[in-house]
């Protein structure tokens, strides 16, 4: 199992997305903790260690970019994967880049591959990865 012993924080304001993504990651062996927005995610981050954060961009209270900025300050080594139907251009201009950005709808295997890479620290640099199929 890819995720054995790895904890993933899944942040999305849509309950169904949190459930489906959590189920996908759970079946891959990850321990999944859900959060409904960026503020709830920061609360969870203060309670325990995470290996990866998978977050939506558009959320109430604290959006994905604001969450990314807070993680940069408080947990600078924590990889963040941004998953969203709309990814703003401003992401490429941020000082702190997410580990990856993936557009919804995404390929489950691609998402698992990116999470595995982030959780096991296999990336040598932060990058933005948007699958070609998602751009159609």
**Rounded (10°) CA dihedral 103, 104, 109, 115:** 60
> Do residues 11 and 56 lie in contact, with contact meaning Cβ atoms separated by under 8 Å?
yes
Cis peptide before 5 (omega within 30 of 0): no
pLDDT bracket for residue 92 (50, 70, 90): low
Residues above pLDDT 90, as percent of the chain:
60
What is the predicted pLDDT for the residue at 86?
76
More confident: 125 or 10: 10
In the predicted structure, residue 100 carries a pLDDT above the cut 80: yes
What is the predicted pLDDT for the residue at 68?
93
Q: What is the pTM of this model?
A: 0.86
What is the predicted pLDDT for the residue at 127?
45
The structural domains of the chain, ordered by start, are 7-135 (3.40.50.2300)
What is the predicted pLDDT for the residue at 16?
96
DSSP assigned state of 129: -
> Do residues 77 and 53 lie in contact, with contact meaning Cβ atoms separated by under 8 Å?
no
pLDDT bracket for residue 120 (50, 70, 90): confident
**Rounded (10°) CA dihedral 35, 40, 43, 44:** 0
> Do residues 50 and 7 lie in contact, with contact meaning Cβ atoms separated by under 8 Å?
yes
């Amino acid at each position: 199992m890819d995720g054995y012993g790895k904890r993933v924080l899944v942040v999305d304001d849509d309950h169904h997305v949190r459930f489906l993504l959590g189920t996908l990651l759970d079946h891959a062996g990850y321990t999944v903790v859900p959060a409904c927005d960026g503020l709830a995610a920061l609360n969870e981050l203060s309670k325990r260690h995470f290996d990866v954060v998978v977050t939506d961009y558009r959320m109430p209270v604290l959006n994905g970019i604001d969450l990314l900025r807070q993680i940069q300050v408080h947990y600078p080594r924590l990889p963040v994967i941004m998953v969203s139907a709309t990814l703003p251009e401003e992401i490429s201009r941020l000082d702190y880049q997410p580990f990856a950005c993936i557009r919804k709808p995404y390929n489950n295997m691609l998402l698992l591959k990116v999470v595995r890479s982030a959780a096991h620290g296999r990336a040598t640099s932060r990058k933005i990865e948007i699958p070609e199929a998602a751009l159609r």
